[in-house]
Chains A and B, each alone.
Chain A
Amino acid sequence: MTKFRHEAWALVRGLAFLSPWLTGFLVFTVVPVCLSLYYSFCDYSLLQPPLFKGLANYRMLWHDPVFRKVLGNTVVYGLLALPLGMLAALGVAMLLNSKIRGVSIYRTIVFLPSLVPAVASAMLWLWLFNSKLGLINTTLNALGVANPPGWLSDVRWAMPALVLMSFWGIGNSVVIYLAGLQDVPRELYEAAEIDGASSLRQVWHVTLPSISPVIFFNLIMGIIGTLQVFATPFIMTGGGPARSTYFFTMYLYDNAFTYLKMGYASAIAWIQLLMVLALTALAAWSSKRWVHYQGR
């Protein structure tokens, strides 16, 4: 009995310390997630109370050409920006992981762009991409390119422009990879060297398996991040031209706060949640095949 009372007291004390998070979790996570599930089955304009409509919103989404467009755009952006960005980040991290002079200066510089607030980097890149006066096109002109792309004002080039711009901010993942690379035990390289493995084979057989958990982590975060791309296209293109840079979260935002279709927006939000869950599960499952955790 005393043991039970002791346990109960420990539980009360523990929950007391956890209470800020427990309260916040309930009010700012559980309630909103449940509410948005309910709203997603309703017609809800904020001005009137929600009106239950069953699966109507989801049915409309299924036939909504704009929703298909934003979904397609988001996938294309993700497929371009994510693998290329991860590859570039890994490459840069490997370069930064060598014992050369001034490496800490290089590291700092590579990281600097990640400190720039999304709004400010959007302003800067709007200016860089400016089709007449921007640094990029004036440089291309000087190099003899007669008709450089119109970038953000060109249907074909707006998406590639955003992808290019995303590489400027890879400093974040570079730092994560770098930390992973520094945890690779030296003995593994020494053993590989004794076995006569070339540098390239060492990368393939030692480096990549050793940092695979880090790659995996960056992959999940990258996927979730792609679904949330908002500020940059919102500010730079507003989704245009011709919806060529209209992304998932922008459509969600517009439905909620421009058209006041809160119910429809909630259905989009729930699809986003389900996609995040599914993608995370998929990444976790596939990781068993290629992620190696040390000492396991």
Chain B
Amino acid sequence: MTSDTQHSETGLATTALQTKLAVAMLPIAGRGKKRSQAGNLLRHAALIAICALAILPFLWMLSTSLKSLDATLEFPPRWVPDPIQWHNYLDVFRHEKANFLLWARNTLVIAVLGVAGTTLSSALVAYGFAKLRFFGRGPLFALMLATMMLPFPVTMVSLFSLFRWLGDNSGMAWLGTFKPLWVPAWFGSAFNIFLLRQFFLTIPMELSEAARIDGCSEMGIFCRIILPLSRPALAVVALFAFMGIWNDFLGPLVYLQRPEQFTLALGLQNFQSKAGGTSWHLLMAASTLVVLPAILLFFLAQKTFIEGIATTGTKG
């Protein structure tokens, strides 16, 4: 579905790992077997090599982003730029072919609306699947799971014409606005519903029963008991929805037309095709600016991940 706007090529895999992610990020040592000293040394060597391959591109990006144009053309290239040119980052903001501040603002507007929408609506639907018994619940749940397999490109063309039709018939424009990128999020997204349902199932039924005896309505139970108890899971959903919107390229590419409306991802690509050419130092500075928030958020929210999964783990 488009609603979680995670339709980059890694989108499905990204969403799928969400529950598992925190488990693996837990700082507890693996439950693996005890090894010999020599074996451990080999392991360290292999892991250091792998980590070097993972991290060198980042360092290279950072290094290039601080170089002068001449230094990027140097052979052999230097890892530590000399002189360090911090103003590349300012140049990116001031560049005539780019408007990164506006693009960041656009991305944040879409992200706030999208994250709020998908978290609230997915929680509501997940409550229905987890805590209410009714005819047809099982098949509907299976149907919902099946929609996770549907790739965005399959519906891309007809969604585009649907939004065009809506624009012609609803009295307000859809294409060329942010609406196609956040409105669908308010109708729940299959993966988030699934994740929250799994979490809600771990909350004892007795709590709901007690509230029901006290005369609380289902909506009251949902708002006053389930939601407050599920903050960690809601945080996980919100976090990943945010990442999905931050990373999304195909959605904005299809629906947004004017540069003033671009998101950061689309803007960065536009910047590269219009002004990139050979100014690798500016391009790398711009890329760093797009990557940094995602990485910062990950480090800031590591605790959220861990808490969320730890709670699921102990209650499950």
Contacts and interface: CB of A to CB of B under 8 A. Distances in A.
A and B associate in one complex? yes
Nearest to B60: A135
Pick the most buried of A123, A135, A265, A280: most chain B CB atoms within 10 A of its CB.
Answer: A123
A31 B158 CA distance: 8
Interface stretch (B81-89, B186-194, B204-212, B230-238): B186-194
Interface stretch (B90-98, B108-116, B242-250): B242-250
Nearest to A232: B9
B229 interface: no
A294 interface: no
Contacts of A113: 54, 57-58
Interface in B243-263: 243, 246-247, 249-250, 254
A282 interface: no
B294 A257 contact: no
Contact of A228 (B11, B33, B73, B243): B11
A111 B10 CA distance: 14
Pick the most buried of B1, B30, B129: most chain A CB atoms within 10 A of its CB.
Answer: B30
Given A20-B187, A125-B57, A217-B16, A28 B1 contact: yes
B201 interface: no
A124 B57 contact: yes
Nearest to A135: B60
A57 interface: no
Contact of A33 (B50, B61, B155, B269): B155
Contacts of A99: 29-30, 32-35
A142 B46 CA distance: 24
B29 A25 contact: no
A286 interface: no
Given A104-B25, A114-B14, A262-B157, A128 B57 contact: yes
B5 to A, nearest CB: 12
B284 A124 contact: yes
A80 B144 CA distance: 32
A230 B6 CA distance: 13
Contacts, number: 339
B208 to A, nearest CB: 13
Contact of B125 (A11, A17, A179, A269): A17
Given A189-B33, A227-B151, A257-B254, A119 B187 contact: no
Contacts of A28: 1-3, 155, 159, 184, 187
Given A127-B64, A280-B149, A117 B291 contact: yes
B142 interface: no
Interface residues of B, number: 110
Contacts of A191: none
Given A116-B291, A119-B268, A176-B17, A109 B30 contact: no
B156 A269 contact: yes
B223 interface: no
B220 interface: no
A172 to B, nearest CB: 5
B290 interface: yes
Given A29-B155, A35-B158, A218-B13, A108 B25 contact: yes
A106 B46 CA distance: 11
Contact of B272 (A31, A180, A235): A235
Interface stretch (A62-70, A150-158, A270-278): A270-278
Contact of A110 (B1, B51, B150, B159): B51
B23 interface: yes
Given A104-B25, A118-B9, A178-B24, A123 B283 contact: yes
Contacts of A116: 291, 294
Contacts of B24: 96, 107, 111, 174-175, 178-179, 182
B46 to A, nearest CB: 6
Nearest to B2: A28
A13 B132 contact: yes
A231 interface: yes
Contacts of B121: 20-21, 24
B312 to A, nearest CB: 12
Contacts of A115: 243, 291, 294-295, 298
Interface in B146-172: 147, 149-162, 164
Interface string A245-267: 00001001100110000100110
Interface of B: 1-3, 7-14, 16-17, 20-21, 23-27, 29-35, 40, 43-44, 46-47, 50-51, 53-58, 60-61, 64, 72-73, 75-77, 121, 124-125, 127-129, 132-137, 140, 143-144, 147, 149-162, 164, 184, 186-188, 190, 193, 218, 222, 243, 246-247, 249-250, 254, 264-266, 268-269, 272, 276, 280, 283-284, 286-287, 290-291, 294-295, 298
Given A36-B158, A266-B158, 20 more contacts: A14-B128, A25-B147, A35-B158, A109-B55, A110-B51, A110-B54, A114-B14, A115-B294, A116-B294, A123-B284, A135-B77, A138-B76, A174-B24, A226-B9, A227-B151, A230-B8, A256-B160, A257-B160, A266-B157, A272-B154
The list of the 5 closest CB pairs from A to B, nearest first, reads A24-B187, A17-B128, A14-B134, A179-B20, A32-B155
25 contacts: A10-B135, A15-B134, A17-B128, A21-B187, A24-B184, A24-B188, A25-B187, A27-B162, A29-B155, A46-B164, A97-B31, A98-B30, A104-B27, A109-B55, A113-B54, A114-B10, A117-B291, A124-B61, A127-B60, A138-B77, A175-B25, A182-B30, A184-B31, A230-B250, A256-B157
